[in-house]
Amino acid sequence: MKVVICAGPATTGKTAVLRHMIKRMKSRDLSCAFLKIDVQYAEEDQQIEAEFGIPTRKVYSGELCPDHCNVMVLGDAIKWARQAEADVLLVETAGLCLRCSPYVDGGLGIVVLEATSGMNLPLKVGPMLSLADVAVVTKIDRVSQAEREVFRARIQEVAPGVRIREVNALYGIGIDPLVEMVGDQSDVTGPLMLRGNPPVGTCTVCVGKKEIGWEQHFGVVRALDNQTFYRGE
């Protein structure tokens, strides 16, 4: 079974891209399963199940980072998708943490970015872009050709090796190359590993300490006039 993990900031069109991919894959007799990971509310799983009749699941990360939640549940999700006899497991993550990458070795990592979000967006999303296999650029019909070229250049600046695909996620234009990438992907086997290294910095805010001011905290801290540093007991 193939694993596709789709990430990206909110409102970029991740679900719309995946909908068109599912439609194309069904026409090629590839059976799909869909997992949605969000923080506290999502209904895309129900919509996709109703539209395509494929098995879907939904997980709320709650107090976990959505990408960390993905690491926790992906093993179970792969077992579930295999039991459902899916050829492809599609995972859509909330994409809220810009420090993390949700992609796994052996899977296809897709980041969805919208061209209308500003020319500097690719510089802001960190490993969500730099560790992806393909960057899908949506809403290209709402910017000029010059803006599209600058956006592509920004992507290549952050991730020189990433493949860039411009699509119209409303009408499904440009989706076929993504489906072909899925078809070319090998099945995942054995223990999976997270692609890249997760951030190692934690602080006492992460574990519930609410006092304001770096002097009240320990571990990795940050003051206004200093770079990040470590403060022990």
Secondary structure of residue 109 in the 3-state scheme: strand
Q: Are residues 153 and 206 in the same domain?
A: no
Q: Are residues 206 and 174 in the same domain?
A: no
Secondary structure of residue 52 in the 3-state scheme: helix
Task: Return the closest-CA partner of residue 3 out of 67, 128, 68, 92.
Answer: 92
Q: Are residues 49 and 75 in the same domain?
A: yes
What does the radius of gyration of the chain's CA atoms come to, in whole angstroms? 19
Give how many domains the chain has, as a whole number. 2
Task: Return the closest-CA partner of residue 231 out of 205, 192, 208, 199.
Answer: 205
Which residue do the tokens 């709402």 mark? 142
Q: Are residues 12 and 116 in the same domain?
A: yes
Q: Are residues 60 and 101 in the same domain?
A: yes
Q: Are residues 172 and 221 in the same domain?
A: no
Q: Are residues 166 and 216 in the same domain?
A: no
* Structural domain harbouring 230: 201-233
Residue 44 to residue 212: CA distance in whole angstroms = 37
Query: Does pTM top 0.75 for this prediction?
Result: yes
pLDDT in tens, the chain (233 residues): 999 999 999 889 999 999 999 999 999 999 999 999 998 889 999 999 999 999 999 999 887 778 888 889 999 999 999 999 999 999 999 877 777 789 999 999 999 999 999 999 999 998 999 999 999 999 999 999 999 999 999 999 999 999 999 999 989 999 999 999 999 999 998 889 999 887 766 778 878 889 999 889 888 888 888 777 777 76
Q: Are residues 50 and 124 in the same domain?
A: yes
Residue 180 to residue 71: CA distance in whole angstroms = 26
